[in-house]
Amino acid sequence: MYTPDPNRYKTMEYRRCGKSGIMLPALSLGLWHNFGHVDVLENSRSILRLAFDRGITHFDLANNYGPPPGSAEENFGRILKQDFQGYRDELIISTKAGYAMWEGPYGDWGSKKYLVSSLDQSLKRMGLEYVDIFYHHRPDLNTPLEETMGALDLIVRQGKALYVGISNYKPQEAAEAIKFLRSLGTPCLIHQPKYSMFERWVEGGLLDLLEQEGVGCIPFSPLAQGLLTDKYTQGIPVNSRAAKAHGHLKESEVTEDRMAKIRQLQQLAQERGQSLAQMALAWLLKDERVTSVLIGASRPEQLENSLGCLENLHFGSEELQQIESILQA
């Protein structure tokens, strides 16, 4: 029987999410990969246990996580019931809808029909009465914003989610969504954008907007699907995401130019006493506008390595200049 570490809250840093009352751990665990039916359940269970033992209280899912779609929520629900049933009030559990989930015209995008139905399905898969955060996963240009945001407002009023957020919204889209949600009386808690050393579009106005509006920011893919780790410095490993048929990192993205930058970044990380992954995570967390960073893990040891970033979040101006020089070369 699993008993959480009694010292689990002593080493994790918690940050306020925008202007809300919610504090999130500096690192949150995303279940995008490694929690589906194609994966080993006991390994997934070990990762979740270690995360909670180390103060990670936020677990992030989506309706289509797997593969197959829905299986990450099913497996998480099973593990939640076995190991965390008595600790629900210590957890922030989030899920999303916005990408293709089932056949027909009502299983995708941003209609009220889809969002409400999807969350109902997610709650059943996880065995929950509510989630803490429900996101619209991506903008839908063909559905009126009032309908999509109205659905998020409805979901909160129904008691199926405590807070709502948006993901993958560009600055102007985010500004409109935030304004509309506020007008309905259900403020936007948090935005989940793709952000890493290799993906920096959020610096073009989104981070400033979120700070101004009092909305949290939780980047996903902070390690660029594993590129910002020591894994790819010598080529593509057999069991890596770039080698998997169902992986989101394509072999074509592992270019020699990018590898040269990764090797230089790795050298700088070593000088800081960190792994490349730890430095890449710390680089995001140096910005106070970043509430939490979503990390993934294929095994407990990988999660342990990521947690090590918290030991050194400081960057000197010279280090930051070096990183910029490498990235811009």
292 is a domain residue: yes
Mean pLDDT across the chain, nearest whole number? 95
Q: What is the pLDDT of residue 234?
A: 65
104 is a domain residue: yes
Q: What is the mean pLDDT of residues 173-195?
A: 98
How many other CB atoms are found less than 10 A from the CB of residue 291?
A: 28
Q: What is the mean pLDDT of residues 154-177?
A: 98
324 is a domain residue: no
Three-state SS for 65-102 is CCCCCCHHHHHHHHHHHHHCHHHHHHCEEEEEECCCCC
Q: Which of 11-25, 116-130, 207-221, 249-263 has the lowest mean pLDDT?
A: 249-263
Percent of the chain at pLDDT above 70? 94
Q: What is the pLDDT of residue 299?
A: 97
303 is a domain residue: no
238 is a domain residue: no
Spell out the alpha helix ranges (H) of the chain.
41-53, 71-83, 112-126, 145-157, 171-184, 206-213, 256-271, 276-285, 300-307, 317-328
Q: What is the mean pLDDT of residues 254-260?
A: 89
Residue 9 CA, chain-centre distance (Å), reads 20
**pLDDT at position 235 over 70:** no
Q: Mapping DSSP to helix (H, G, I), strand (E, B) and coil, where does residue 207 land? A: helix
Axis crossing angle, helix 256-271 with helix 317-328, rounded to the nearest 10? 170
Q: What is the mean pLDDT of residues 88-115?
A: 98
71 is a domain residue: yes
List pLDDT tens digits, range 119-165.
Answer: 999 999 999 999 999 999 999 999 999 999 999 999 999 999 999 99
Contact between 252 and 215 under an 8 Å Cβ cutoff? The reply is: no
**pLDDT at position 240 over 80:** no
Question: Is the Cα dihedral 156, 160, 161, 167 positive or negative?
Answer: negative
> Using CA atoms in the order 266, 267, 271, 274, what is the torsion angle rounded to 10 degrees?
20
Contact between 221 and 190 under an 8 Å Cβ cutoff? The reply is: no
Top-ranked range on mean pLDDT: pick from 171-175, 225-229, 239-243 = 171-175
Q: What is the pLDDT of residue 247?
A: 57
List pLDDT tens digits, range 265-322.
Answer: 999 999 999 999 999 999 999 999 999 999 999 999 999 999 999 999 999 999 999 9
Q: How confident is the model at residue 239 (pLDDT cuts 50, 70, 90)?
A: low
What CATH code is carried by the domain that includes residue 210?
3.20.20.100
Q: How confident is the model at residue 232 (pLDDT cuts 50, 70, 90)?
A: confident
Structural domain that includes position 167:
14-225+287-297
Residue indicated by tokens 């009502």: 106
235 is a domain residue: no
Count of structural domains within the chain: 1
- In angstroms and rounded to an integer, the radius of gyration of the C-alpha atoms of the chain is 19
242 is a domain residue: no
**pTM value?**
0.94
